[in-house]
Each structure stands twice: as structure tokens, then as C-alpha cells.
Amino acid sequence: MTVIAVFATPPREGLVGAELAATSPLTEAEAAEFYAATLKDAFLAAERSGGDLLVNYRPDDLVPEQFHGERSAEAEVRALVADALGDTSDVRFEVQVGSTFDARAGNTVTHLLREEGVQSVAVVRGNAPFLTRTAIDSAAMKLRTNEVVLAPSTEGRVYYAGFTDPVDFDGAFAAPEVETLADRADDVDHSLEYVPMQPVVETGDDLLTFLPLLESRITAERIVPKHTATFVRDVGLRVAVDDGKPTVVRD
């Protein structure tokens, strides 16, 4: 069984989604709400999968002082999980340990595999709204016969990285992530497999990929990430084409 480690930062204005706000019609507050919505959809996908959800949250001492809130980081993340799932009694919460994302991911994966003896661990940032239960379970199947499974996204990024044995995580998520992680797997002779590409949403350009796909799936009455889809509809985000150039606008 795969442990799905969703790495969560408290969804505070300016702390998360700053690049999205700077490159799209969203305000910083709305970009933080968008991040919260995608995280909730990630929690749902992991909870509905055959894996075990681990919420790996960023504690207050890893949050810059200017972004400290009235509630603790743990309380904010727990409230987000409760809003997504209702019952959180089966959800494991752990603090992130490490000064960089590479270190935090590596510490989590290595500890679970070597100290707790779990079969496989997946690193998920929660920024890919189309991460589904099916994708998670498909990756878990591939992890039965491969040491590393990656889910690529645009611009060389990954939205899921699964491991049955650690790699050298120092700088392992350096851009382009999918290439760097593949190199690290190859360095230790690990076999590598993939699951289908999906968009992540970190910038306004990412919305140009995500929004038409979301609207297409809504039209086709296919499964969509409900929290993210609700947010998009509430704020009126869409892609308009002017003189052949697509642009993210809001109604």
C-alpha cells in the first residue's frame, strides 16, 4: 500500500499562490483560495484511493514571520482537511522537516521506507487539480514492479513522484524535475515508470492549459475536481481568444 504524502502549506495570502496572482487576473487572496481548493481535491483523491493519506504540513517555524497568522499552521491545515473530508480520524498528520522542498520530501520518503517499513511513498504537492483516485491507484500498481514512478506535467515539472526505495534527494526536484528525478533513479539503477501527464497550476500560463480542459470535462459530464471547479466558476475564470491569442480573463 502506498502512503500518499501531500505536502501542504497553510493557505495564507502572499505565502502561497504569489506567482499565480502576479501572472493572472486573480488577487493574492484569491490565488491562496485557489491553492486551498486544489489541496482539498488532492486530499479527496488520496483518501478515495487504495493508499494511505499522510498530510505533511509546513509548521510555523518554516513559515516566514511576515506570514504568521492568528492560528497555527497545523490548525489551518487540519481545518482544510476537515473541510475536504469531514472525518479526519484516519488521516495522519506530520510536520515537514528540512530547509528545502528537496530535503523535506527526502526526509519523509526515507523515513517511511527505511524506518517504518512501508511499501511505497508518493510525494504530492497538491497543485495538480486533475490528480485523481484512478491516477494514484495506477501509479501504485506500477510501483509494484518499479522503484520510481513519475507523473509528468508541463515545463518539465512533476505532480506525483512515487518511490519504493530512496534516491539521492539533494537537489532531486531541481528543474526540469522529471529529468532530474529520472537521473537520480538511474544513478542507483532504479527502474522508472510513468503515469499520464496532467497540468499543474502555479502561474497564469498554467491556467491556459487547465481552464479549457476543465470546461471540456464539465461539458462532457466527466469527473472534475469539485473544489477547484467550484472556485473557478465562482470567480468567473475562463480563457478568451483575442486575435488568435488565448488569454485568461474573468467575467
Phi, psi dihedral angles at 12 (to 5 degrees): -100, 140
pTM score of the predicted model:
0.96
pLDDT of residue 237: 98
Please report, in tens digits, the pLDDT of each residue of the chain (251 residues total).
899 999 999 999 999 999 999 999 999 999 999 999 999 999 999 999 999 999 999 999 999 999 998 899 999 999 999 999 998 999 999 999 999 999 999 999 999 999 999 999 999 999 999 999 999 999 999 999 999 999 999 999 999 999 999 999 999 999 999 999 999 999 999 999 999 999 999 999 999 999 999 999 999 999 999 999 999 999 999 999 988 899 999 98
Phi, psi dihedral angles at 245 (to 5 degrees): -110, 120
By CB atoms closer than 10 A (0-12, 13-18, 19+), residue 198 is: buried
Q: Which fold has domain 2-199?
A: Spore Coat Polysaccharide Biosynthesis Protein SpsA; Chain A (3.90.550)
Classified as helix, coil or strand, 126 is: coil
Q: Starting at the edge strand that comes first in sequence, how are the strands of the sheet with 92-95 ordered?
A: 92-95, 52-57, 2-8, 120-124, 158-163, 148-152, 192-194
Rounded to whole angstroms, how far apart are CA atoms 159 and 151? 6
Rounded to whole angstroms, how far apart are CA atoms 128 and 172? 19
β-pair partners for 2: 120
pLDDT of residue 69: 84
Phi, psi dihedral angles at 151 (to 5 degrees): -115, 105
Rounded (5°) CA angle 162-168-174: 80
pLDDT of residue 8: 98
By CB atoms closer than 10 A (0-12, 13-18, 19+), residue 44 is: buried
- Tell me the longest C-alpha to C-alpha distance in the chain: 58
pLDDT of residue 243: 87
Query: Would you give the DSSP letter of residue 16?
Result: B
**Whose CA is closest to 109, among 3, 192, 191, 1?**
3
Rounded (5°) CA angle 176-181-182: 100
**Whose CA is closest to 4, among 87, 117, 95, 126?**
126
